Amino acid sequence: MQDRTFPGTAPKRALLALGLGLATGLCSPTLAQAQSPAAWPSKNIRIVVPYAAGGPADLVARELAQVLTADLKQSVVVENMGGAMGVPALGAVARAEADGHTLLMAAVGNVVLQPLLSKQGGADLLAKLRPVSTISTAPHVLVSSAKLPIHNVKALVDYARANPGKVSFASAGTGGTAHLAMEMFRAMSKTDVLHVPYKGSSGSVNDLVSGQVTAMFSSYPSLQGLVDKGLLRVLAATAPSQSPATRALPLMSASLPSYEYTTWYAMYAPLATPTPLVQRIEQALSRAIQQPQLVAKIEAAGTELHAGTAQEVLAWTQRDTDKWSRVIKEAQIAID
């Protein structure tokens, strides 16, 4: 596949714009005086999620919204805007009034991967948003069909080397995290493995269970039921975790040193949102994210809540832009 992007350029421009927006808000008295943080919230708060209802992002957003509603004494609602690489969701928040009542809970895929992979991936819209806070982070797991005699990552690597071209990795589509994780595995393990993209996750999971494909990277909660039934086998987690669902799993890095990645979510506001108001929102999010009941519920599903600053969002974005741009360039992946 030909690489029709210039990996790293678009998201790095967006990252620079986010950083400049952050600095502008810190230095601009005009923005700071635009609205008194003490007046926030004065109406319902809308959290836009660039994914359909029912997935991991939706779960975190809705549980978080309930805690925020109780804390702020103002209704916090979740609006799902799935599809089109999350661009409609980014655009809706970028165009919203910068008063703290419309926020975006975006994933690493929206702010790093899509701009790297596509000229229509939303880099221009990211430049119109400013980060507020980190929300959560979670490893993926590498799973294999239980029909194969593979019980750990080393065994999978050995099997792939002994059977060039016969080990296949399923994904929910080209350019998604599961695909890029497989490409990183291929490069680091020096194996000849096959990528099998599906249109969505159901077909890929069915073929993984039946043994038609060998392995897949995925969030753990979505596959835990099949693992518990013995239909799939967990080989390793892609990063350390404190979640009870994944913290005892072996790590990919034990067999492939430096192999590590997580999926994560962060909150964003329109670029012109005044810094004092952003700080007020960040404080509310931090209080909510540290509520023991919320932590227990989310961590039980394999995700860790993480209350971090806007600067930490930028650091995560830079880290993953560097990581995934190399993978995309070496594998020559583009989606338009």
Residue 29 inside a domain? The answer is yes
| pLDDT recorded at residue 222 | 87
pLDDT at 5 over 90: no
Residue 243 shares a structural domain with residue 274: no
Q: Tell me how far apart the alpha carbons of residues 157 and 251 are, in angstroms, rounded to a whole number.
A: 14
What CATH number does the domain containing 195 carry? 3.40.190.10
CA proximity to 267, closest of 299, 289, 291, 296: 289
Question: How would you label 169-206 residue by residue, b for 16+ Cβ within 10 Å and e otherwise?
Answer: bbbbeebbbbbbbbbbbbebbebebbbbebeebeebbe
Q: Is the pLDDT of residue 258 over 60?
A: yes
pLDDT digits (tens, 9 = 90+) for 113-149: 999 999 999 999 999 999 999 999 999 999 999 999 8
Number of domains forming the structure of the chain: 2
Asked if the structure places residue 294 within a domain, the reply is yes
In order of 60, 106, 169, 254, the CA distances from 153 in angstroms are 30, 31, 13, 9
Residue 32 has pLDDT above 70, yes or no: no
Q: Where residue 77 falls among pLDDT bands split at 50, 70, 90?
A: very high
Residue 4: inside a domain, yes or no? Answer: no
Task: Supply 302's token pair.
Answer: 């394999």
Comparing C-alpha atoms, which of 164, 147, 167 is closest to residue 156?
167
E-assigned strand segments in 260-310 = 262-270, 304-308
Of all residues in the chain, what percent carry a pLDDT higher than 90? 81
Give yes or no for residue 14 having a pLDDT over 70. no
Q: Are residues 165 and 281 in the same domain?
A: no
Please give the average per-residue pLDDT across 148-164, as a whole number: 96
**More reliable by pLDDT, 74 or 221:** 74
The dihedral formed by the CA atoms of 299, 302, 306 and 310, expressed in degrees to the nearest 10: -150
Domain boundary among 215, 230, 254: 254
Question: What is the overall mean pLDDT for the chain?
Answer: 90
Could you tell me the pLDDT band of residue 263, with boundaries at 50, 70 and 90? very high
Choice among 18-27, 48-57, 247-256 with the minimum mean pLDDT? 18-27
Give the residue-averaged pLDDT of 297-306.
92
Beta carbons of 4 and 335 less than 8 angstroms apart: no
129 shares its domain with 265: yes
Q: How large is the average pLDDT for residues 168-180? A: 95
Q: Supply the pLDDT for residue 38.
A: 82
Instruction: Give per-residue pLDDT as tens, 82-102.
Output: 988 899 999 999 999 999 999
pLDDT of residue 33: 45
| Domain end position, chosen among 254, 287, 305 | 254
Specify if 190 maps to a domain.
yes
DSSP state, 194?
A: E
In a domain, 153, yes or no: yes
Residue at 148: amino acid letter: L
Question: Residue 221 has what pLDDT?
Answer: 87
22 and 130 share one domain? yes
Residue-level pLDDT at 56:
87
- 292: in domain: yes
What is the pLDDT averaged over residues 255-259? 97
Regarding whether 131 and 30 lie in a shared domain, the answer is yes
Of 178, 200, 173, nearest in space to 335 by CA: 173
Query: What is the residue type of 173?
Result: G
65 vs 203, more confident: 65
- What is the pLDDT, as a whole number, of residue 176? 93
Q: If you average pLDDT over residues 251-261, what whole number do you get?
A: 98
Whichever domain contains 120, its CATH number is 3.40.190.150
Give the range of the structural domain holding residue 15, as residue numbers without chain letter: 9-138+261-331
Predicted confidence band at 55 (pLDDT cuts at 50, 70, 90)?
confident
User: Which value, to the nearest 10 degrees, does the dihedral of the CA atoms of residues 87, 217, 265, 44 take?
Assistant: 70
Are the beta carbons of 241 and 247 closer than 8 angstroms?
yes
In terms of domains, do 128 and 14 share one?
yes
The model carries a pTM of: 0.89
Q: Do 24 and 104 share a structural domain?
A: yes
Whether residue 194 sits in one domain with residue 146: yes
Q: What is the pLDDT of residue 201?
A: 81
